[in-house]
Amino acid sequence: MRAKPSLVALSVAAAFALSACGQHDDAPKSVAAPGTPVAKPEIVVKLGHVAPMTGPQAHLGKDNENGAVLAIEELNAKGMEIGGAKVKFELLAEDDAADPKQGAIVAQKLVDAKVNGVIGHLNSGTTIPASKLYADAGIPQISGSATNPKYTQQGFATAFRVMANDVQQGKSLGEFAVKQGIKTVAIVDDRTAYGQGLADEFRKAVEAAGLKVVATEYTTDKATDFKAILTKIKSTKAELVFFGGMDAQGGPLAKQMKELGIKAKFLGGDGVCTPEFMKLGGEATEGQYCSLPGMPLEKLAKGPAFREKFTKKFGGEIQLYAPYVYDAVMVMADSMKRADSVEPAKFLPAIGKTKYDGVTALIEFDQFGDLKGGAISIYQYKGGKLEYVETLGGSPVDLAQGDAKTDVKEMEKVGADAVKNVAEATKAAVEKK
């Protein structure tokens, strides 16, 4: 009984695979979209999405996936036409468990499945090794949340991100600490590519400003007990504890600081700027600060509408990166439309030329694939809510990067102009609100 329909499904899948190879004109039209007999040929665009769906960061992974699902549903509802054919987007969601090894395995799986593009991964630690596989296969990759600078510094033409990187974020956090009149800081990181990278950039920024780093301690992205390292930090009497890592560790860390009678302030990056952090840290988080790349959703023209759509569809709050992932999908689709092709080799150059007015920012990429002029906003945890404090930076992406390509000088100028434009655009958007 079951054998027959699955055979049909298989042949349909095979037909899709063929059509993706560029022979879409011959694709069987009637089977392509059951229920909606269309006159035009339809092509299926497979987008891979990778984030941890199991493990300690599964809640963030699901949030990312929801962002992608929302974007894909909207694209399909809108009905895009590329190269004269109707396009149907399909999401291949994979789980990398925030583990670099598994990240590479699922990346290979997506490459073998011949996806047209990849959205993700969530973590820098998984994104960096996976990006090589995508680059070798020529598959464009846009991450909505991997902020480690190394991701785009490897010289891969396929690697993009729609979020400010940690060079910008670490610098802004450092500036903020200096502004708070802090003299001595302790730094804790979780030894992941993200946590370590952010902590290193923060250290550079505060040391350059003459602050003293009195303790450097480490934990892991699976730890629950931080008392041993916190006791050591207590003995140094640091005025501020900076944490490079995610909310699942940051929350308990803040709580245990309080239990040990540590009076120091807590400061963290985007990984702890979540509702989950406050839930886990309880009252210990009250009055502390964290940062997020970009501007707060409320201050963006399309922000509140996105939040409403999201909560209506998934019945829960946005955890963290969902809007960025949503934008990443939209940028990918937008590039396909501009290139009028769904073939990676053809629409990849178009991604670099993106100028897309997304939910999170006016998205443009520099020559490395980094978001141009990413701003960093500081938030304070207040009464169980994240309260916007100020936006720092919006400075041009650090161009003193290792493997710079040829036209850096020229790009620098263009980049600076673009940054000015973005700054003005965001300012205008804020005022409009």
Partner 1 sequence: MDILLQQIINGLVQGSIYALVALGYTMVYGIMGLINFAHGEVVMIGTLVSITVAGSLIEAGMPVSLAGMAGLSASVLACMALGWGLERIAYRPLRNAPRLTPLITAIGMSIVLQNLAMMIWGRNYLTFPSFLPKIDFELAGANFTAIQVIIVVVSATTMGGLLLLVYRTKLGMAMRATAQNPAVASLMGVNINRVIAAAFVIGSALGALAGVMVGSYYEIAHYQMGFMLGLKAFTAAVLGGIGNLAGAMLGGVLLGIIEALGAGYIGDLTGGFLGSNYQDIFAFVVLIVVLMFKPSGLFGEKTGDRA
Q: Which residues bind partner 1 (CB under 8 A)?
A: 53-56, 58-59, 61-62, 191, 216-220, 222, 224-225, 227-229, 231-232, 234-235, 248, 251-252, 255, 259-261, 276, 279-280, 282
Q: Which is nearer to partner 1, 185 or 361 (CB)?
A: 185
Cβ partners under 8 Å of residue 326, min gap 6 = 67, 68, 70, 71, 144, 306, 358, 359
Reference 102, options 86, 123, 82, 83; nearest CA is 123
What is the smallest separation between the CB atom of 254 and partner 1, expressed in angstroms?
A: 12
Nearer to partner 1, 191 or 302 (CB): 191
**In the bound complex, what is the minimum distance in angstroms from residue 281's beta carbon to partner 1?**
9
Bridge partner list, 266? 241
> Which residue shows structure tokens 């700027």?
273
- The structure tokens 């406050």 sit at 278
Cβ–Cβ < 8 Å for 203, 195? no
Per DSSP, the three-state class of 85 is strand
For partner 1, the closer of residues 222 and 433 by Cβ is 222
- The CB-of-105 to partner 1 minimum distance in angstroms stands at 17
Tell me which residue has tokens 């939209």. Answer: 330
| CB nearer partner 1, residue 53 or residue 111 | 53
**Comparison of 58 and 301: residue with beta carbon closer to partner 1:** 58
**Nearer Cβ to partner 1, position 179 or 222?**
222
Nearer to partner 1, 206 or 278 (CB): 278
Distance CA 113, CA 107 (A): 10
Give the angle 98-362-147 at the CA atoms, nearest 5°: 25
The least CB distance from residue 49 to partner 1, in Å, is 16
Report in angstroms how near the CB of residue 165 gets to partner 1 at its nearest.
24
Min dist. Cβ of residue 93 to partner 1 (A): 14
* 20 three-state secondary structure: helix
Tokens of 59: 């809640």
- 185 with 211: CB under 8 angstroms? yes
The DSSP bridge partners found for residue 90 are: 46
**Closest distance of CB 275 from partner 1, Å:** 10
Residue 47 to residue 90: CA distance in whole angstroms: 6
Task: Count Cβ atoms below 10 Å from residue 277 Cβ, excluding itself.
Answer: 27
